[in-house]
Structure formats: structure tokens, C-alpha cells
Amino acid sequence: MRKHFSAYMERIAAQDDIVFITGDLGYNALENLALQMGPRFINAGVAEQNMIGLAAGMASQGYRVICYSIAPFVVYRCLEQVRNDVCFHNLPVFVVGNGGGYGYGIMGSSHHAIEDIGTLSGLPNMQCYVPAFIEDMNACLDDMFARRGPAYFRLGLGKNISPDMMLKKYGAATMNQEAELTIIAQSPVANNVIAALKNHLHESKTVLYVINKMPLIELPEDIISSIKRSKRVLAIEEHISTGGLGSAVSLLINELSLPVDKFISLHAEGYPGGLYGSQSYHQQLSGLDAESISQTINTYF
């Protein structure tokens, strides 16, 4: 997604109210953008707190400001700046974090962001974007740049959308009016769900909804209908259960008194055993790889 993001930025770089601030990252990705934006491309150095405060100051003077870094660096270190300086004042500062979830794999836990959505999505005026595919990523970017308030954009390892999925306002969905299981997923881990469905011929029994914006304030109508019909729900996300998609869906199901016989949340489990590896290794440990997802789906039938 990073390259697509960079290409998108290059397309809008000429808009003179856009400022791009990097936290000293962008090697082999942002060089062209820096050339195109000239003085509106700023390297704030290794100083994320100042980067966000600075961005708030610039945004107060009419700029839309992107703050770019590796996801955990631009979420946790500067959380108070995001909350007080940006969100309290409803300013268009767009925090873009590369490598959400376990995206940085073997780089280790300092480089992972598996609590980012829970951390940010409850802040006032904040809109989090967690696209799963290249196609919905573009829609999210269009949406973000039309905003006049704060946003967080989680970049991951996105693929092109599967041909049997349709883009929706809330993300994307497969078409299955007869589904016996409603799967609700978020982030590029949705691609593992798609692989699980194809490899194990679950497609006819399931419907997959992909949600790309948080907080989830309400359930889309088609998802409500599907839950009413299937009475079985599986939530999947590369994020811890606290403050993530599964907990939001569970709350909404309860508030709407939807009849659910079985609800499973597959989510990031942190670091079981204290061992480290690639993104797919961590996904496996959390039951988020295609094979594990398939096994979980089997428990419904």
C-alpha cells in the first residue's frame, strides 16, 4: 500500500494547501514526492511529538497536513499531541502509519501496531481508515482528503480486491443472500479470509463484509440483515480485541438485540510465548492465517 499511497500523494502534490511531514522516513518511496512538493515537504526529524504539534499549528493556518511514519511511532509516542492539539481542535492533520498490525514482522514488537485503532478511534473527531485492498484504499484516501478534521490511515500489505467482491461505502462485501455465517473483517488480513474461503469451499455458506473505517458507530443495513438471517458471526482483525472491530461489532449486536447463536472474535493475541517472527508467523500464532481461519469457520458447521 505504501507505493500506492506515495503515487496517490504525487497525484495531489500540486494542491498548495497540502503539507507532507515525515518523521525522517521515506527512503526509496518518498523521494519523488519530496521533489514535487518542494518546501511543503518537511522532514521533522526523529521527533514525533513535535511533528504532530507542528502539524496542528500548520493546520490551524489553513493547511491539510500529513504526518507520516512507521505506524507505532506516529501513534503511541505522540498520543497526547494527537488528542490535545489535533483532535480537541478538530484540525485536518492526517496521521499516516506504515505497517499496521504485525506488518513490520521480524523488526519486532517496537515496530508493530496492534493497538493503534483502539488507541486512536475513540478520540474526539477522529476518523480511522483501515483499508484492506488497493481499491478501497483509494476510496479511503479520497474520503480523508475531503475531510476538515483529524484522521489516521493505517497502511498495510494490500492486494487488489477479489473479483467477486464489491466496493461498499463502508468497505467491501461478497454477495451471498443465503449465507449461514456472517464474517466481518478489517485490514489486509481480509485477504487471508478470502484465501480460506476459496481453499476450503466455504464460499457458498458464508458472506464476507470488510469494514475500513473506525470507530464503527453503526452496523450497515446489509450486515444487520445478514446477521439476522445467519445468526452466526465471525469477526477477524489484525488488532487486539480491546477497542477493535470485534468488540465494536459485539456491542452493536447487543444494542440492536440481534439474535446471535455463535460469535467468535479472531484477533491479534500479542506475543504468545514471547517469540518473534514474520507477519505471517504472528498471524498464525493468533489464528489469523488462512488455514486457522478455515478451521475456525469449520466450527460453525
Partner 1 sequence: MKHKELQGRLRTRILELHYKANSGHIGCSLSCIDIMIGILKYKESGDTFILSKGHAASALYSILNEMGEISNEGMASFYQDATTLPAHPAPLKYPAIPFATGSLGHGLPIATGIAKANKLKASPGISYVLMSDGETNEGTTWEAGHFAIANKLDNVFVIIDKNGLQGFGNTANILGDTASAKVWETIGFDVMETDGHDIEAILESKRKLLEKKNGRPKMLIAKTVKGKGVAYMENKMEWHYLPMNQANYEEAVAKIKVDYNL
Q: ∠ CA 176-204-132 to the nearest 5 degrees?
A: 65
* Cβ distance to partner 1 smaller for residue 53 or 99: 53
Number of residues assigned to the chain: 301
Query: Quick one: which of 42, 114, 208, 248 contacts partner 1 (CB under 8 A)?
Result: 42
Minimum distance from CB of 85 to partner 1 (Å)?
A: 6
Cell numbers of 183, please?
Answer: 464474517
* Cβ distance to partner 1 smaller for residue 53 or 156: 53
Q: Interface with partner 1 by CB under 8 A: which range of 1-9, 42-50, 160-168, 185-193?
A: 42-50
Minimum distance from CB of 62 to partner 1 (Å)?
A: 7
Taking the CA of residue 94 as centre, how many other CA atoms within 13 Å lie in the half-sphere pointing to its CB? 24
Cell numbers of 117, please?
Answer: 485503532
Minimum distance from CB of 138 to partner 1 (Å)?
A: 28
Owner of C-alpha cell 498520543: 79
Cell numbers of 165, please?
Answer: 467482491
Instruction: Please tell me whether residue 89 binds partner 1 under the rule CB under 8 A.
Output: yes
Give the sheet arrangement for strand 206-211, strand by strand.
Answer: 165-168, 171-174, 206-211, 181-185, 232-236, 262-266
Instruction: Please tell me whether residue 85 binds partner 1 under the rule CB under 8 A.
Output: yes
How many residues touch partner 1 (CB under 8 A)?
Answer: 28
* Cβ distance to partner 1 smaller for residue 69 or 174: 69
Minimum distance from CB of 69 to partner 1 (Å)?
A: 14
Site string for partner 1, 112-151 (x = CB under 8 A): ----------------------------------------
Q: Interface with partner 1 by CB under 8 A: which range of 35-43, 111-119, 151-159, 189-197?
A: 35-43
* Cβ distance to partner 1 smaller for residue 39 or 272: 39
Site string for partner 1, 3-22 (x = CB under 8 A): ----------------x---
Calpha distance 284→27 (Å, rounded): 30
* Cβ distance to partner 1 smaller for residue 147 or 205: 147
Amino acid at 205: K
Minimum distance from CB of 65 to partner 1 (Å)?
A: 8
* Cβ distance to partner 1 smaller for residue 127 or 230: 127
Minimum distance from CB of 57 to partner 1 (Å)?
A: 2
Site string for partner 1, 47-76 (x = CB under 8 A): x-xx-xxxxxxxxxxxx-------------
Positions that interact with partner 1 (CB under 8 A)? 19, 39-40, 42, 44-45, 47, 49-50, 52-63, 80-81, 84-85, 88-90
